[in-house]
Chain A
Amino acid sequence: SQQGEEDPQALSIQEGENATMNCSYKTSINNLQWYRQNSGRGLVHLILIRSNEREKHSGRLRVTLDTSKKSSSLLITASRAADTASYFCATASGSARQLTFGSGTQLTVLP
């Protein structure tokens, strides 16, 4: 079952603006991951942050993790129309190898 919630559910911005998506989860985790899904396609891994990390960067992506609040955020800077997609957070907990996905944010970047 879904563990977490993401907000906003949908986000529409202009090209060049920054996009911030938030994810909350319920149980303790080993790591939290962010994935991107273009419509009708599989998921592509973006970034993984471990439970002992607080911030991580990858290109135009910045992820934060606050384990005390059980929340994470994904920031995409200088957005492009090609960033239009659904973004999901996913958590890995304990010895379980499956990921539990958040509800997702649909990002639309207008040219």
Chain B
Amino acid sequence: GAVVSQHPSWVICKSGTSVKIECRSLDFQATTMFWYRQFPKQSLMLMATSNEGSKATYEQGVEKDKFLINHASLTLSTLTVTSAHPEDSSFYICSARRQAMNTEAFFGQGTRLTVV
């Protein structure tokens, strides 16, 4: 079964509204989770690292006020796209890795966001 669960799998929203995406680690406690964005036929681009109990670390060029990340528990991280615009339409994927080195990452199913 899934180790990381992401919800919703798709969402359509109107411009100006906010959308929340949830990412749950089902099999282990994840002090750190990762949020990626993927455009069609492109690779995954890391947006931010979500840290349990502290502020997220954002990659260069990612607006922290637009992409709000909350990691309130060891099993749940949320990404909220605020005041969404059509250019925010994309595929968002979260992942989690166990603490030990040389471990694989587990990915959520992804969320297809369409802003109309």
A residues with CB within 8 A of B: 1-2, 30-31, 33, 35, 40-45, 48, 50, 88, 90, 92, 97-104, 106
- Whether B46 is near chain A, meaning CB under 8 Å from some CB there, is yes
CA distance A99 to B49 in the complex (A): 11
**A42 engages B108 (CB within 8 Å):** yes
Question: Contact flags (1/0) for B63-103 with A, using CB distance below 8 Å?
Answer: 00000000000000000000000000001010101000111
Chain B residue at smallest Cβ distance from A4: B43
CA distance A97 to B97 in the complex (A): 8
Chain B residue at smallest Cβ distance from A9: B41
CA distance A35 to B41 in the complex (A): 15
Interface contact tally, CB-CB below 8 A = 63
**Distance (whole angstroms) from the CB of A4 to the closest CB of chain B:** 9
Q: Which of B32, B43, B101, B104 contacts A88 (CB 8 A)?
A: B43
Q: Which of A1, A97, A101, A103 contacts B32 (CB 8 A)?
A: A97
The residue in A42, A44, A48 that gathers the most chain B C-beta atoms within 10 A of its C-beta is A42
**A42 engages B105 (CB within 8 Å):** no
CA distance A60 to B55 in the complex (A): 42
Query: B residues 20-64 with Cβ under 8 Å of A?
Result: 32, 34, 41-46, 49, 59-60
- Whether B112 is near chain A, meaning CB under 8 Å from some CB there, is yes
Q: Which of B34, B45, B60 contacts A2 (CB 8 A)?
A: B45
